[in-house]
Structure 1
Amino acid sequence: MENIASRFNLTGKVAIVTGSSKGIGRSIAQGLAENGAKVVISSRKQEVVDAVAEEFRAAGLEAVGIQCHIGDAEQRRALISKTHEMYGGIDILVNNAAINPYYGPLEGSDEAVFDKIMEVNVKAPWVLSNLVLPYMKGQGGGSIINISSVEGLRPGFGLGLYSATKSALIMLTKNQAKEWGRYGVRANVLCPGLIKTKFSEGLWSDEKLVGGYNKTVPLGRIAAPEEMAGLVMLLASDAGSYMTGGVFLADGGYMVSG
């Protein structure tokens, strides 16, 4: 009889997590490493990713830091090539890094901001996934996990541009799943709700906003970053081997609230 719990084991797998020096990305990277994966910690500053990787290694985990500003084409290519050179394969790609440089009405922004947010939130995950595809095809499979947001599913006020990018990422994921399933490559998307991270501090530091949110959401609270990691563990491992093209929520019930 197969040990089903063993299907979560990622020993021997290589995982890249973008934007993993803090917040959701760091929690995801830690979870992957704790399940046995060799994890590449990535964000814009080498000294920052080195510090996180060293902390992981001190805890007995396998990790290395590779600097990558995902808005930079050369750094995107270097992230993938260096990972392959180091480990000889790439099994898991978590496109987590994102930006939201603007909060306000759609008509209040400018084209430069639009181009920047699209470059990082949509183009970069598309390019990085394309770059890992040959390696995943060559080894008979892999798992791509894109981190979107409930803002990509429901419109709100002030986050229109960000929401548009996150909605685009959801459809990108579905197309990846449809086109790449023949190669054994799975693609899924996680949509977090409001999480207490530095990225969303402008929202959760607003007591009035949080009070209204907590009254609306069935679980009655905002989430901690580590509460996003479990779904990624499932999607990255053989425990989720028949899951592709899925849109998964970790939102405290936000999408079923009024």
Structure 2
Amino acid sequence: MAEGLREPGRAAPVLVLEHVSKAFGALNVTQDVCLDVRPGEVHALIGPNGAGKTTLIAQIAGALAPDAGRIRFAGADVTRLGVARRARRGLGRVFQISNVVGGFTALENVALAAIVAGGRTLRCWRPAAADREVQAKARHMLARVGLAARADEKAAALSHGERRALELAMCLVQEPKLLLLDEPMAGTGRAEGERLTALLASLKGRIPMLLVEHDMATVFALADRISVLISGALAITDTPEAVRRDPQVRRAYLGEEAVP
């Protein structure tokens, strides 16, 4: 099928990468990458360390411009747009390293995200954060991620898994069209990881997600499709079962003992 076209009766993808490449000097870090994320799906991006995942995610988020290729998001060409403009168009990102403000309460963190999404200035954020509508929206999102009882706790006092859930609430309150999840399980223990996986599973079908993750149990539990990046190029994009069986993927990344 030609790039940019879609099968009859299938909704247009939310995110499309067309032949995206990035090099640093003589090192080709991402090479001719083509993938898409469809409405409501969880699309996982996996690969060994050094495969180019971080560079590709930076290009999707707008932190790096590709040397070649095109990125379309929510029906528009965003290839040359920066991080802030892509975020305003509905690209929500959860970082590998937590991005919450430790000195603010959980409620204040989510309220701040809601204020930014509403286009209001941060110079008057405290009065805005006290707005009943903002407070109600923030509390609703905290309840959505299981943190209602922790709303008035400082973010620094939350466990690592709770901070990951808080960061997700900060994304959700901005009503994103796509969630870009950059290793959300990093640093979480088994119980916290299972709770976060269940939380993400509860969002399936409602918000499309591009999930970058090393935890294969999480990937195979959540993904509708998986793309495997090896040495900067896509080795395969297919269903979890097809990826699980692929000999090249097993040799280069999964390993016999790592496949659930």
TM-score (norm 1): 0.35
Task: Give the structure with higher Rg (CA).
Answer: 2
TM-score (norm 2): 0.35
- Relative contact order, higher structure (CA 8 A, sep 6+): 2
